[in-house]
Amino acid sequence: MHFFTVLLSLFFFLFTTTTITHGHNITHILASHPSFSTFNHYLTLTHLAGEINRRTTITVCAVDNAAMSELLSKKPSISTIKNILSLHVLLDYFGTKKLHQIRDGSALAATMFQATGSAPGSSGFVNITDVKGGKVAFGPEVNEGNLDVFYVKSLEELPYNISVIQVSKVLPSDVAAAPTPEPSAMNITEIMSAHGCKVFADTLIANREASKTYQDNIDGGLTVFCPLDDPFKAFLPKFKNLTASGKESFLEFFGLPIYQSLAMLKSNNGIMNTLATDGQKKFDFTVQNDGEDVTLKTRSTTAKIVGTLIDEQPLAIYTIDKVLLPKELFKAAPTPAPAPAPEKEVADAPKSSKHKKPTADDSPSDSPADSPDDDPADQTADDNASVRFGGGRLIATVLSLCLGLLLL
């Protein structure tokens, strides 16, 4: 029935919500409205704030602290809260004027909940209707025609980037409010096995230590990049050649001890610590955008994210098209190392919850793929943060010297 309207809204959201990186800051906007501090806090906690700041032509339907307390009293999980709040971000601009002048008195708006793909059918759409008496009512499209949430007031309008309005209460949606499974109850290897990463999953299951590290990190935030079956199968002989500690570090290298949505990875380019990172053993890689793709790089390999198996805060699992090789275990192909551009350090990545004691067989030289005479030039080029930043400073100095000469 509403198929055409749905199509139209989808069309609109595809073409009007361009993603940008500058402009409004929802956290900042709501900070000047203390009675919305809880809503604001949860936008940050669910990482929706970043998504909102990246988009234009949107409307945020905020609810006050009392309405948020009612929602929180049901003790929903963080990913359920994320689903509910994302239903409150409309992917179209509705200022006060437009709300009161809706054509034909009623409209359907796609929401960020729809855009996440977690919303089945049209459950991610919100019906906005100009009801009698000049009131504007809101209700999830799938809600038996109940429109019992009302427009209260405008909080901020930056036409046509973002409109922040207050609505009377939280939009009632059984779909968005459905409990999501406890993260630690999720079987990550099962998710991987069912979606093209069975070889990696089986290898992980067979390694008790690495499995435990993954499991222990789920609740606090975990992002996994699992290599697809074909590349990982081809790699197995080399994996079997690693020492016990090499195997464990290698498997843990594919997990980050933090939650990262794809959008966060796109905007947080830089060096990432992994579950294998432990003091001297860096086992890190660089996240870098390549057009619309997100790539992971080490000295010798570049893998591309090709799929999302799950993205439910605090857990995200992506598939990658190649087996990423940590430089601690695999020597780079003997190509002359170009000086890498200064990289941005991801400063706020917390350490994994695991603290391994260094053991004798942990030293990098006992790994068959490594050798103690690892190219020292490479070491200074990308193994040492201080040298890296020193390099950046050197470039800056050279540049400013050139500039100085030009000015003379």
Pairing mode of beta strands 162-167, 58-62: parallel
List 37, 231, 380, 381, residue binding ligand NAG (CB under 6 A):
380
241 binds ligand NAG (CB under 6 A): yes
**CB closer to ligand NAG out of 49 and 170:** 49
108 binds ligand NAG (CB under 6 A): yes
**Does residue 312 contact residue 180 with C-beta atoms inside 8 Å?**
yes
148 binds ligand NAG (CB under 6 A): no
In terms of Cβ atoms closer than 10 Å to its own Cβ (0-12, 13-18, 19+), residue 246 is buried
How far apart CA 142 and CA 18 sit, in angstroms, is 27
For 103-247, list the strands marked E by DSSP.
Answer: 106-110, 125-131, 135-140, 149-158, 162-167, 222-227
Distances (CA, A) of 395 to 184, 299, 340, 407: 46, 21, 11, 18
What DSSP character marks residue 338? P
381 binds ligand NAG (CB under 6 A): no
Q: Least separation, in Å, of the C-beta of 265 and ligand NAG?
A: 16
Which residue type, as a one-letter code, is found at position 113?
Answer: F
List 7, 18, 19, 28, residue binding ligand NAG (CB under 6 A):
28
Contacts of 25 (CB under 8 A, 6+ apart): 53
Q: Least separation, in Å, of the C-beta of 230 and ligand NAG?
A: 17
Stated length of the chain? 408
267 binds ligand NAG (CB under 6 A): no
Q: Least separation, in Å, of the C-beta of 169 and ligand NAG?
A: 17
Query: Contact region for ligand NAG (CB under 6 A) — 9-17, 21-29, 60-68, 219-227?
Result: 21-29
Q: What is the footprint of ligand NAG within residues 170-229 (CB under 6 A)?
A: 187, 189-190, 193, 205
Distances (CA, A) of 313 to 7, 172, 219, 358, 397: 29, 21, 9, 32, 42
List 280, 371, 384, 400, residue binding ligand NAG (CB under 6 A):
384
Q: Give the position of tokens 């990432």.
A: 272
Query: Contact region for ligand NAG (CB under 6 A) — 104-112, 113-121, 174-182, 298-306?
Result: 104-112
List 7, 14, 31, 131, residue binding ligand NAG (CB under 6 A):
31
Q: Which residues make up the interface to ligand NAG (CB under 6 A)? A: 2, 5, 20, 22-25, 27-28, 31, 56, 106-108, 127, 129, 145, 147, 158, 161, 187, 189-190, 193, 205, 237-238, 241, 368, 379-380, 383-384, 386-387
